[in-house]
Homo-oligomer: A and B are copies of this chain.
Amino acid sequence: MKNWQLKKLSKKSQARLGVLKTAHGNIATPFFMPIATKGAVKAIATQDLEKLQAQIILSNTYHQYLRPGLKILNKTKGLHNFMNWSGPILTDSGGFQVFSLDASLERKGISKSGKVKVDRQVTNQGVEFRSYLDGSKHLFTPEKVIKIQQTIGSDIMMVLDECVGNPSTKAVAKAAVERTTLWARQALAAKKKLKITKQQLFAIVQGSLYQDLRLQSVQELTVMDFDGFAIGGLAVGENNIEMYKVLDYTVPALPSDKPRYLMGVGYPENIIESVKRGVDMFDCVIPTREARHGRFYVRKKGWKYETVNITNSKQATKFSAINEKSTIPELREYTWAYLHHLFKTGEPLAIRLATLNNVEFYLNWMKDVRQAIKVGKL
């Protein structure tokens, strides 16, 4: 039985409307996943996510493994019960978290200069890293990452992959592709060995900005029986044109009957452009992270939007509602002036309301994307 069903293919672009079936319900694609890194979408509750009609959330294998840890998750029979979320959950493999620290340090030139010792080692066996909590050493292998995700009970598991930074030399990018393929094979074998049937497993295409490497990665991964394919290693510093170019040649090479997930992307316009290129799934920290910095996403006519910086003094005297059409009473009833005041005084309520606003914006954006495909306008 197929996990993904096409409902409509656009005539104007590669955009597709579909349904992804998971152990915790069916989801309309294309969709966006709010990020619950540590088991909660920052500053909001699962009850809020239900009100906002979030279809699925994303959590992190790496963080869940370190805290609350597998003992607790074993007792609750997984993350769904632990965090009181009855909808689908996707967990990324933990690889990106381990790599991204390193990559961001390298970009800043810190690890090169030897100022900070980067505590992770990648071998063909897996990734060894130190816990951010207590400095203890841990080894993530492709199999171990599947075992952890089995305990978490996520509806969609991701394979351990090697994500390289941008720019990367071709040699580095090629080695990462080959290691990612090796690990993907091991992850799939682990899934079979562990008799995991209700959880799906997605592979991750790597290859940096090199067309031949991306296509090599696709070719090597798609011969294996994965439930879906993610495109990783983007949104790591390249510009939009470079990213769209990768999608232009990568997405068409992926199987047309399986869901496609662009990891870590992006701004609303990035999502539209990627949907047009045939992507079905998205996640990004932007709505929640920008909320913490007081930036509110506000919809304008059509696909236009603006980001309002709430701490700007202009907001101090704007006595109109944050969003008259919101499903959240606070966003209908509170004014920009009041939210400006809450941010200026450092009231914790401020970040909660900004997060609700931005997550609602993203989820509505996706609703409109689906509607536009349905009526043939995208």
* Residues of chain A whose beta carbon lies under 8 Å from any beta carbon of chain B: 38-40, 42-47, 63, 67-68, 72, 75-76, 82-84, 316-317, 319, 329-330, 333-335, 337-338, 341-342, 344-345, 347-349, 351-353
The answer on a CB contact under 8 Å between A67 and B344 is: yes
The answer on a CB contact under 8 Å between A40 and B75 is: no
Report, nearest first, the 6 A-B pairs whose CB atoms are least far apart.
A43-B348, A38-B345, A40-B347, A68-B341, A84-B333, A45-B330
Q: A329-B47, A330-B47 are in contact. Are A319 and B84 (CB under 8 A)?
A: no
The answer on a CB contact under 8 Å between B349 and A43 is: yes
Query: Which of A40, A42, A335 is packed against the most chain B CB atoms within 10 Å?
Result: A40
C-alpha spacing A316/B39, complex, angstroms? 14
Shortest distance in angstroms between A246's beta carbon and chain B's nearest beta carbon? 34
C-alpha spacing A42/B319, complex, angstroms? 22
Within 8 Å CB of A45, what residues of B? 330, 334, 349, 353
| Subset of 26 A-B contacts with CB under 8 Å | A38-B341, A39-B341, A40-B342, A40-B349, A42-B347, A42-B348, A42-B349, A44-B349, A45-B353, A46-B333, A47-B333, A67-B344, A67-B345, A68-B316, A68-B337, A68-B341, A75-B319, A76-B319, A76-B337, A82-B335, A82-B338, A84-B333, A84-B338, A348-B348, A348-B352, A349-B352
B42, B334, B348: the one within 8 Å of A84 (CB): B334
The answer on a CB contact under 8 Å between A347 and B38 is: yes
Within 8 Å CB of A67, what residues of B? 341, 344-345
C-alpha spacing A342/B83, complex, angstroms? 10
C-alpha spacing A330/B76, complex, angstroms? 17
Shortest distance in angstroms between A109's beta carbon and chain B's nearest beta carbon? 29
C-alpha spacing A341/B352, complex, angstroms? 19
Within 8 Å CB of A319, what residues of B? 75-76
Q: A345-B67, A348-B351 are in contact. Are A338 and B42 (CB under 8 A)?
A: no
Within 8 Å CB of A330, what residues of B? 45, 47
A348 closest partner in B (C-beta)? B43
C-alpha spacing A353/B72, complex, angstroms? 21
A38 closest partner in B (C-beta)? B345
Within 8 Å CB of A316, what residues of B? 68, 72
Q: A329-B47, A345-B67 are in contact. Are A75 and B39 (CB under 8 A)?
A: no
C-alpha spacing A23/B44, complex, angstroms? 35
A329 closest partner in B (C-beta)? B47
A345 closest partner in B (C-beta)? B38
Q: A45-B349, A68-B316 are in contact. List 15 more A-B contacts (CB 8 A).
A: A38-B341, A38-B345, A38-B347, A39-B342, A40-B342, A40-B347, A40-B349, A43-B348, A44-B349, A75-B319, A76-B337, A82-B337, A84-B333, A84-B334, A348-B351
